[in-house]
Amino acid sequence: MTVTVKTFTSSSEAAAALSSDRNARYLGGGTLVMRALNEGDISLSTVVRANDQALMRIDPSGPRITLGAGVTFARILGERDLSFLHAPARSIGGPAVRNMGTVGGNLFAPNPYGDFTVALLALDATVALQGGFGSRDIPIEEFLQSRDRQAGTLVLSVSCTRPTSAEAFRYRKIARIKPKGGSVITLAAHLPISGGRIAGARIALGSMAPTQIRARAAERALEGRALDAATVAAAASAAAEGTSPSDSALGSAWYRREIVGVHLRRLLLGQE
């Protein structure tokens, strides 16, 4: 199998190359594409790269922060202003993977990976895309629902909400091998408080559906209420509603549905 590597100086040129070749894949950190090449994926005949520094940009100012698609998890861990994202970034593989793995690539990582994307979903992220249609921003939920149809599209950046306090955002990855193992389940919660009550609850789950999803029933149980034991219990009991986990070597679908409420309760109560 012959693979052609094309390197461009701008993201627009790279996006055009992706749009014109259905067998092309973009190479960021390489943790997904290189695995596909090493495993002999015959559908991949062209690798596209871009040296555009805009893809490496971090803008941590304001109520929403922007991360270029090429930003690595190691860089996030080195940014004091991004401390609320340190736990999700640290949960991605080992040091070698964090040095190479990128924010944009994680959006495409299949179960049981893609843990950073769970955090972005809880933080109401928006994904900036470029392709044959030009440039556009879409909510991360819309992106995830159409992820398998995003061939020929280049992710430019991701922006997400900055939590108003350290307590407003919580994250937990349940894995058999820590920290670098695939997740049994991953949970993230953003719980803004206004007047002592939750306003705008977002709960995100990984490995509980084909892509990362929101636990909307749990969100409804939290919305407009104080974060007390009764509210947490109601959210935990609703955590598995609307999920569709699959069986894997890490855990069965039944097991995942059984434990997701337990771990959501612990996450919301701040328990280990």
Structure tokens at 121: 């979903």
Largest interatomic CA distance in the chain: 62
Mean pLDDT, to the nearest integer, of 248-266?
97
pLDDT in tens, 50-92: 999 999 999 998 899 999 999 999 999 999 999 999 999 999 9
- pLDDT band, residue 179 (cuts 50/70/90): low
Q: What secondary structure does DSSP assign to 49-66, as a single string?
A: EE--GGGG-EE--SSEEE
Dihedral (Cα; 29, 35, 41, 47), 10-degree rounding: 20
pLDDT in tens, 81-132: 999 999 999 999 999 999 999 999 999 999 999 999 999 999 999 999 998 6
pLDDT tops 70 at residue 151: no
H or E, element range at 21: none
Q: What is the pLDDT of residue 221?
A: 98
Contact (CB, 8 A) for 135 and 61: no
Q: What is the pLDDT of residue 150?
A: 67
pLDDT tops 80 at residue 6: yes
AA identity, residue 254:
W
User: Residue 251: helix, strand or coil by DSSP?
Assistant: strand
pTM greater than the 0.85 cutoff: yes
Q: What is the pLDDT of residue 202?
A: 98
Q: pLDDT above 70 covers what percent of the chain?
A: 97
pLDDT tops 80 at residue 264: yes
Cα 15 to Cα 138: distance, rounded to the nearest angstrom: 17
Q: What is the pLDDT of residue 132?
A: 66
How many residues would you count in the chain? 272
DSSP 162: P
pLDDT tops 70 at residue 177: yes
